[in-house]
Structure formats: structure tokens, C-alpha cells
Amino acid sequence: MIFRQINIGFALGTCVSIAISLASVNAYAGDIDNGKKLYTRHCVTCHGVDGVNVMPDAPNFAYSEQLLRPDDFILASIKEGKNAMPAYRGLLEDQEILDVITYLRLLETGGPMRP
């Protein structure tokens, strides 16, 4: 009887751990290739090909603390615009902006490790 209780407790604990791990995964997984295409079309002029800012005062995405913020915060910032950056609300869908954010996070880490 004690052995069965331990097994049930272990199984329950394992399920809770898996659920917590899955909940911490970014719910806004983006499409890297689409993000790169959109970044190249809309962002590269000011933020540079590799995320190193070309325009003064534009964030440097190659080494940016701004990318430590949650996706929903960055999404809202891009939608609203700031200073010289135009608002992208209505120009890009939320998922397209999330694709760009996914690509930005790769710029910060040195790029995707793909074959």
C-alpha cells in the first residue's frame, strides 16, 4: 500500500513538473524565416543587417537588454512605435511582429544554428 502511494505521488509530481515546464515555453513561437524577411523589409534601414544599429538612438539588437523583456511587451512597443520608429499597428499582424521578435532574439545570440 505504501509503495503504491509513493508511485502515485511520484507520477503526480512528474506530471506537475512537466506541466510547469510546458507553461514556461514561449507561447508566441515565431517563424524565423518570415521574421527575417519582414525585418529585412521594415527594420534593417535603422537597425542594421546584423541588428547593430545604423541610426543613432535605434536599439542595438545584437547586444540589447530590451530583448530580455517578454514578447508581449516588445510586441506592444513595435505596434505603438517610439521616437523615429513608426507604429506598425495595422501594417503588420501580431503574428508577423512575433516572427520579427523571434528573429531579433536570434540576432542577439549570433544567429540560428541550422544545417
- Between vectors from CA 21 to CA 6 and to CA 100, what angle results, nearest 5°? 170
- Rounded to two decimals, the pTM is 0.69
Mean pLDDT, all residues of the chain: 79
Give the relative orientation of helices 94-108 and 71-80 as an angle to the nearest 10 degrees.
120
In whole angstroms, give the CA distance from residue 60 to residue 22: 31
| Mean pLDDT value across residues 66-79 | 92
For residue range 5-48, list pLDDT tens digits in order: 555 655 555 544 554 444 444 444 799 999 999 999 999 999 99
**Domain residue limits, the chain:** 32-108
pLDDT at 114: 38
Task: Tell me which CATH code domain 32-108 carries.
Answer: 1.10.760.10
